């Protein structure tokens, strides 16, 4: 058994029994159900076009049907889903410093890089499972909506769905890696979660606002992690503007550029975390 | 004592500085295969920092070290080392058994290795309880169990009896002695000098970041002394000088009485007593006294008893 396989087995055992993981998955599921289906459906049933985001009823219904699942899947990831998995990554890495478990793990002999690799692979598997679960959930709920409204169940194209799932995994993976990096950098859960949330929910938006006043700043904000993630969501069909617009969805970068930038951030965050773990003293 | 000459842990003038503060200053020590090595020092002397450097958790600012022939912190060294440093660190939401299974997996061991380690520290019946519900002593024992996973050649235990009740401390002493009897090398730090005196073959004393003594427990304690209280003191001193070949220095015992402490080696209590009586000395007490490790430690580290 390779060292990384052993460390991944160890991390998977502790992650799957970690209540935090299930609480965060539950929060994400609740957000998906509430904002992608429950509220829009209630608004649609109320017959008031201004009841939810002000869109026409038919457009509102179409956004909940199976054909729209790829867009539903990725729309919430740049901000809300990203924030949730950022917390997951930050806690997965940062809590180990507070509990002293990194110290115990590192003295078991797998090597620091291999130990962190186990965490990275386990988190990647957790994110992949979360995306798969969300896809199933969205398909199920959208089918229920279609059937209950006597509409044909028209499934989205396989390629389109795969692209959306891949993009969702990439965005979620990037934010998880960002959390992992912050948890490692700050050597604790609280500060890393706080910094991560302030960045994703506040700072990037403020910078983009300021960039409207300063052109030079725009060249920077266009390449921020949130900009790349939002642009990827926009390129994969999530609405960036109009009545169905989802917070965080952007059209700044092209789809390919956004995907490459998001992937680059993912790799950079992981590499930075590994470098920090390997080089720093554990006191 | 076969194999006792092979060095398992060696440090060569290792130092660790944090800014202007020097935590460890040029420590050179050697732990031999199969021995129980006690690492002693007052709080803040640099014991834990030294142990962390031995385990590769902290990098030395200067100097070098070798653990089981490999670099400290390398997988080659850590695979054969078990450690408990500065308190046990485990996932609080998991049971003791699951925590050990996770650590066993990190070592590439099967899950069942956890059960054996739990039994070694008498935690088998509480292995299913969550770590956060453990008492301090149980947490400490779980930390030792994690160190025992895979029967490592070297055990590094930092204050292993912290939080243990007297029965737990006695069990821990037996465990360390058993481990050494089984050929494992133990490097332990402790504040409990009576405990160190009982179980350690050699000791290293660190104070102010510097190793100020390394040797056997007997060497550190020095030889036994013969304490004599007789009157008149001048005649008592004369008799003892004849017996030992050196003029004894007067001292006061715990009750403030004038006494003489002379090296007991080569002296027989009946002969000394007879000589004193023959010289007309009123003999109040003649006794051989073993010097406690604690006395030697306090003298070395300059801490008043």
Interface predicted TM-score of the whole assembly (ipTM), two decimals: 0.89
Is residue A99 over pLDDT 60? yes
Give the residue ranges of DSSP H helices in A149-254: 158-186, 189-198, 204-211, 215-221, 225-235
Question: Do residues A247 and A234 lie in contact, with contact meaning Cβ atoms separated by under 8 Å?
Answer: no
Please list every residue in chain A whose beta carbon sits closer than 8 Å to the beta carbon of residue B82: 107
The residue of chain A with its CA nearest to that of B150 is A108
Question: Do residues A175 and A28 lie in contact, with contact meaning Cβ atoms separated by under 8 Å?
Answer: no
pLDDT at residue B7, rounded to an integer? 94
Question: Do residues B12 and B65 lie in contact, with contact meaning Cβ atoms separated by under 8 Å?
Answer: yes
Beta-strand ranges (E) seen in chain B are 7-18, 21-32, 36-40, 62-67, 81-84, 154-158, 185-189, 202-207, 210-216, 225-231, 250-252, 258-263, 282-289
> What is the Cα–Cα distance from B78 to B60, expressed in whole angstroms?
17
The residue of chain A with its CA nearest to that of B144 is A104
pLDDT at residue A239, rounded to an integer? 77
pLDDT at residue B9, rounded to an integer? 96
Please list every residue in chain B whose beta carbon sits closer than 8 Å to the beta carbon of residue A111: 74-75
The residue of chain B with its CA nearest to that of A18 is B93
Cβ–Cβ contact B44 with A under 8 A = no
pLDDT at residue B1, rounded to an integer? 42
Q: Any idea which of A50-59, A270-279, B28-37, B129-138 has the lowest mean pLDDT?
A: A50-59
Kind and range of the H or E run holding A147 = helix A112-148
pLDDT at residue B124, rounded to an integer? 94
Contact residues for A36 (Cβ-Cβ < 8 A; gap 6+): A64, A72, A75, A76, A138, A141
Tokens representing A187 are: 């050597």
CB contact under 8 A, B89 and A99: yes
CA-CA distances (angstroms) from residue B69 to A167, A217, B8, B52, B75?
48, 55, 7, 17, 12
Identify the CA nearest to A243 among candidates A82, A74, A42, A61: A61
Cis ω before A189 (30° cut-off from 0): no
What's the angle, vertex CA B233, arms to CA B232 and CA B234, rounded to 5?
Answer: 95
pLDDT at residue A133, rounded to an integer? 97
Of A19, A106, A281, the CB nearest to B59: A281
CB contact under 8 A, A106 and B52: no
In chain B, which among 125-144 make CB contacts under 8 A with chain A? 143
The residue of chain A with its CA nearest to that of B77 is A109
Please list every residue in chain B whose beta carbon sits closer than 8 Å to the beta carbon of residue A283: 52, 57-58
What share of chain A in percent tops pLDDT 70?
95
> What is the Cα–Cα distance from A246 to B180, expressed in whole angstroms?
66
| 3-state helix vs strand vs coil in chain A, percent to 5 | 75, 0, 25
pTM: 0.86
CA distance B90 to chain A (A): 5
pLDDT at residue A1, rounded to an integer? 67
Cβ–Cβ contact B81 with A under 8 A = yes
pLDDT at residue B2, rounded to an integer? 43
* Distance from chain centroid for Cα B230: 37
Beta pairing, strands B185-189 & B154-158: parallel
| 3-state helix vs strand vs coil in chain B, percent to 5 | 35, 30, 35
Of A10, A109, A118, the CB nearest to B79: A109
Question: Do residues B101 and B173 lie in contact, with contact meaning Cβ atoms separated by under 8 Å?
Answer: no
CA dihedral (B59, B62, B63, B65) in degrees, to 10, reads: 0
Please list every residue in chain A whose beta carbon sits closer than 8 Å to the beta carbon of residue B90: 99-101, 104
- Interior/surface letters A57-82, b for 16+ CB within 10 angstroms, e for the rest: beebbebbbbbbbbbbbbbbbbbbbb
Residues of chain B with pLDDT under 50: 1-3, 304-305
Matching residue, tokens 């290795």:
B113
What's the angle, vertex CA B25, arms to CA B24 and CA B31, rounded to 5?
Answer: 75
**Neighbouring C-beta atoms of residue A128, cutoff 10 Å:** 15
> What is the Cα–Cα distance from A31 to A79, expressed in whole angstroms?
12
> What is the Cα–Cα distance from B200 to B186, expressed in whole angstroms?
9
Identify the CA nearest to B250 among candidates B268, B238, B242: B238
> What is the Cα–Cα distance from A228 to A155, expressed in whole angstroms?
28
Question: Do residues A122 and A12 lie in contact, with contact meaning Cβ atoms separated by under 8 Å?
Answer: yes
Question: Do residues B41 and B297 lie in contact, with contact meaning Cβ atoms separated by under 8 Å?
Answer: no
pLDDT at residue B251, rounded to an integer? 85
Using 50, 70 and 90 to split pLDDT, how confident is the model at A55? low
Burial class (CB in 10 A: 0-12, 13-18, 19+), B252: exposed
Identify the CA nearest to A139 among candidates A159, A154, A124: A154
Burial class (CB in 10 A: 0-12, 13-18, 19+), B169: middle
* Residue pLDDT, tens place only, A191-227: 999 999 999 888 888 888 888 888 788 888 889 999 9
Is residue A242 over pLDDT 70? no
A247 φ/ψ sector (left φ>0, alpha ψ -120 to 50, else beta): beta
pLDDT at residue A210, rounded to an integer? 86
């Amino acid at each position: 058994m390779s060292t990384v396989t052993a460390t991944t087995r160890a991390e998977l055992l502790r992650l799957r029994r970690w209540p935090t993981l299930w609480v965060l998955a539950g929060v994400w599921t609740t957000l998906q159900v509430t904002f992608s289906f429950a509220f829009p459906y209630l608004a649609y049933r109320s017959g008031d076009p201004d009841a939810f985001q002000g869109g026409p009823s038919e457009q509102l219904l179409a956004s909940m049907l199976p054909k729209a699942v790829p867009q539903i899947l990725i729309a919430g990831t740049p901000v809300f889903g990203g924030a949730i998995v950022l917390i997951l990554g930050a806690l997965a890495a940062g809590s180990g410093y507070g509990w002293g478990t990194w110290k115990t793990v590192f003295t078991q002999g797998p090597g620091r890089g291999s130990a962190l690799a186990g965490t990275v692979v386990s988190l990647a598997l957790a994110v992949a499972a979360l995306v798969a679960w969300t896809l199933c959930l969205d398909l199920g709920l959208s089918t229920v909506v279609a059937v209950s409204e006597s509409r044909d169940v028209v499934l989205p194209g396989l390629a389109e769905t795969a692209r959306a799932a891949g993009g969702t995994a990439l965005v979620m993976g990037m934010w998880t890696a960002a959390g992992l990096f912050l948890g490692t950098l700050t050597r604790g859960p609280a500060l890393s979660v706080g910094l991560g949330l302030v960045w994703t929910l506040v700072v990037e938006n403020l910078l983009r606002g300021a960039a409207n006043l300063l052109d030079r700043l725009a060249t920077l904000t266009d390449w921020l992690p949130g900009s790349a993630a939002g642009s990827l969501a926009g390129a994969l069909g999530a609405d960036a503007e109009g009545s169905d617009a989802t917070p965080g969805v952007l059209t700044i970068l092209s789809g390919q550029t956004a995907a490459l930038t998001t992937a680059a951030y993912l790799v950079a965050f992981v590499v930075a975390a590994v470098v920090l773990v390997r080089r720093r003293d554990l006191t | 004592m076969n194999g006792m000459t092979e060095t398992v842990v060696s440090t060569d003038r290792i130092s660790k500085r944090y800014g202007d503060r020097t935590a460890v200053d040029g420590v050179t020590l050697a732990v031999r295969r199969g021995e129980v090595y006690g690492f002693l020092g007052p709080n803040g002397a640099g014991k834990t920092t030294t142990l962390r450097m031995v385990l590769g958790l902290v990098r030395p600012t200067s100097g070098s070290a070798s653990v089981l022939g490999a670099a400290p912190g390398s997988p080659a060294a850590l695979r054969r080392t078990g450690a408990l440093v500065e308190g046990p660190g485990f996932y609080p939401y998991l049971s003791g058994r699951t925590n050990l299974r996770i650590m066993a997996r990190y070592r590439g061991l099967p899950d069942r290795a956890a059960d054996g380690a739990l039994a070694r520290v008498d935690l088998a019946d509480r292995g299913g309880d969550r770590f956060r519900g453990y008492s301090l002593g149980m947490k400490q024992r779980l930390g030792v169990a994690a160190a025992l996973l895979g029967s490592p050649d070297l055990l590094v235990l930092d204050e292993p009896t912290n939080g243990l009740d007297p029965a737990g401390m006695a069990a821990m002493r037996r465990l360390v002695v058993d481990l050494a009897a089984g050929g494992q090398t133990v490097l332990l730090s402790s504040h409990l000098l009576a405990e160190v005196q009982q179980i350690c073959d050699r000791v290293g004393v660190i104070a102010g970041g510097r190793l100020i003594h390394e040797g056997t427990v007997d060497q550190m304690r020095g030889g036994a002394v013969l304490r004599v209280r007789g009157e008149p003191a001048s005649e008592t001193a004369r008799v003892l000088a004849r017996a030992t070949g050196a003029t004894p220095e007067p001292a006061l015992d715990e009750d403030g009485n004038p006494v003489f402490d002379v090296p007991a080696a080569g002296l027989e209590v009946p002969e000394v007593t007879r000589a004193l009586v023959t010289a007309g000395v009123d003999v109040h007490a003649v006794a051989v006294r073993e010097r406690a490790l604690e006395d030697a430690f306090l003298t070395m580290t300059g801490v008043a008893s």
